[in-house]
């Protein structure tokens, strides 16, 4: 019963954060929603008793891809909206 409730909770989190990735206009908030979606997918792997896949999901995708997105957002963002 608890596993079913955990699955439902994280399914809602996954769907809501995935919708946030595509519907939010700010790139930084979209990247944060992507991190939440990837972490909730890792929880789904843990619920399936696939701990190795959960660890790889966190290390590779959340740790690697999300950090690259964060650096890209910080490097390409307009510093303070200064117009030339």
pLDDT bucket at 82, cuts 50 / 70 / 90: low
Cα distances (angstroms) measured from residue 72 to each of 28, 30, 35, 59:
10, 13, 15, 19
Question: Does residue 76 carry a pLDDT above 90?
Answer: no
Tell me the pLDDT tens digit for each residue of 21-73: 999 988 888 888 998 999 999 999 999 999 999 999 999 888 888 788 888 87
State residue 51's pLDDT score.
Answer: 95
84, pLDDT greater than 70: no
CA distance 4 to 76: 42
Q: Domain residue spans in the chain?
A: 2-76
**What gap in Å lies between CA 60 and CA 29, rounded to an integer?**
20
Note the pLDDT of residue 27. 82
Counting beta carbons within 10 angstroms of the beta carbon of residue 33, is it exposed (0 to 12), middle (13 to 18) or buried (19 or more)?
buried
């Amino acid at each position: 019963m608890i596993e079913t409730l955990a699955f439902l909770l994280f399914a809602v989190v996954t769907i809501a954060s995935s919708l946030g990735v595509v519907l939010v206009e700010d790139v930084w908030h979209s990247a944060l929603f992507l991190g939440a979606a990837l972490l909730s997918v890792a929880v789904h792997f843990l619920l399936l008793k696939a701990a190795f896949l959960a660890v790889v999901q966190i290390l590779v995708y959340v740790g690697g891809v999300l950090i690259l997105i964060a650096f890209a957002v910080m490097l390409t963002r307009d510093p303070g909206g200064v117009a030339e």
